[in-house]
Chain A
Amino acid sequence: MNPLHTTEGLLQFGLRDRWYPLCPSEHVRPGQLTRLDRAGEELLLWRDAAGVVHVQEDRCPHRAARLSHGVHMGDRVACNYHGVQVDAEGTVVSVPGSPGCALEGRRVLRTFPAREHGGAVFAWFGLDESAPPAPLEVPEPIAGEEWAHFLCYVEWDAPYRYSLDNLLDPMHGAFLHRNSHTMFAGKREAVFQIRATDKGFVFEKTDQRGVNFDWVELTEGGAQWVTLDIPYPDTAGPGGPFTIVAALSAISEHRHAGFFWRCRKVSGWQRDSWRFLYRNRLEARHFAVLEQDREMAEAMPADAWDRENLYQHDIALVRMRRLLRAEAAKQAARLTEPAAPAPVPVA
């Protein structure tokens, strides 16, 4: 059975009816065919002559050869095996070896709605591929004019779920990152509460805010976003806290892509100052902190979720896993339900 039709498979590769970031925009270069595995799908990415990005299945509708091994023809892609040409809508526009054959004019290449935001390419993976996508709602720190941001893109040898756990676990900041430039302060003991929001929840310390990694928000909807703040020391100059907006995409069961938009609400010369300091030195420090997370996530045992003893600090993980599992089960049921029987004609 297709793993994407099972609860476990959807949990491993990512739920459907979601937008997922695929890669930084600059990874899809004009005139080139880019191959990516994301969210359980084998993808071809390319830009048309106007620069608009397209995301399609990397599979020629003729004999399943890799279109990514083909030829970029501006407004279409030609398979290198037998020359079959497919356009951005997924329609076969030419079969040079057999002109006029039935394949011509048919829309047979799976094509995923695609957008670019915040320097990344996103695609919609719908449960029902014929249904239109939900709007891609991008969080304010990425979309807002008053904010500045840099996208940090990483690929880790760990299931995306370990990275999601890490983001929903603010307490590790006070331990794993205790010697970092941003998370050295605050208490090592904390009481947390969960507060429901329209599209997810906030997990926060009850007695400390703005000192360490003290809260995190999970937003589930047309996409899954995790947002959190980390206070900056005075050396970072004027402006608000360091805000991270994160989104994750599975590459395989054991590997994922992480998108960390590093944001700050700053404008004018303060924005320029942050951008300069970020490039000149903060980026390296932030990356060193992220490397601590990577080392921890990549070294986790494969059965981490099966043998745990969770405590009060982990209620956000429990909530998140329950939400995901319930939605995955619902989607799997929809994908495997037998087709409705044809109505019996009334005599």
Chain B
Amino acid sequence: MPASYENAFGDELEAVYGRGVHDLPGIVAALNASGVRPANGADWTESSFTAELARLSGTEN
């Protein structure tokens, strides 16, 4: 996955968080209202969102 995607995801996440939205359902809804989608283009779900964070966090590295 190109870094540009990670940057776009980071931008959107910071924007959502910056509006004070820190709960999982709220974040997923806000991300779905944005242009950023997971690699398969589907809507975010709580499980796809948390799985993506786990991947991007590098925990498994």
Partners in one complex: yes
Q: A: which residues have CB within 8 A of B?
A: 233-238, 268-269, 271-273, 275-277, 279-281
**A276 and B53 contact, CB distance less than 8 A:** yes
CA of A235 to CA of B14 in the docked complex: distance in angstroms?
5
Give chain B residues whose Cβ lies under 8 Å from the Cβ of A271. 57, 59
Query: What is the number of contacts between chain A and chain B, taking CB atoms within 8 Å?
Result: 55
Could you tell me the distance in whole angstroms from the C-beta of B28 to the nearest C-beta in chain A? 11
Q: Are A275 and B58 in contact (CB under 8 A)?
A: yes
- Residues on A with C-beta less than 8 A from B24 are 269
Asked if B33 lies at the interface with its beta carbon under 8 angstroms from chain A, I say no
Q: Within 8 Å CB of B57, what residues of A? A: 271-273, 275-276, 279
Q: Could you list 26 examples of A-B contacts with CB < 8 Å?
A: A233-B18, A234-B18, A234-B19, A234-B20, A234-B22, A235-B17, A237-B17, A237-B22, A268-B50, A269-B24, A269-B50, A269-B53, A269-B54, A271-B57, A272-B50, A272-B57, A273-B13, A273-B57, A275-B58, A276-B53, A276-B56, A279-B58, A280-B6, A280-B7, A280-B10, A280-B56
List chain B positions with a Cβ less than 8 A from chain A.
Answer: 6-7, 10, 13-15, 17-20, 22-24, 49-50, 53-54, 56-59
Q: Which residues of B contact A268 (CB under 8 A)?
A: 50
> CB distance A276 to B18 under 8 Å?
no
Cβ-closest chain B residue relative to A238: B22
Other than the known A234-B22, A269-B49, A272-B57, what 19 A-B pairs have Cβ atoms closer than 8 Å?
A: A234-B19, A237-B13, A237-B17, A238-B23, A268-B50, A269-B54, A271-B57, A272-B50, A272-B59, A273-B57, A275-B58, A276-B10, A276-B13, A276-B57, A277-B10, A279-B57, A280-B6, A280-B7, A281-B14
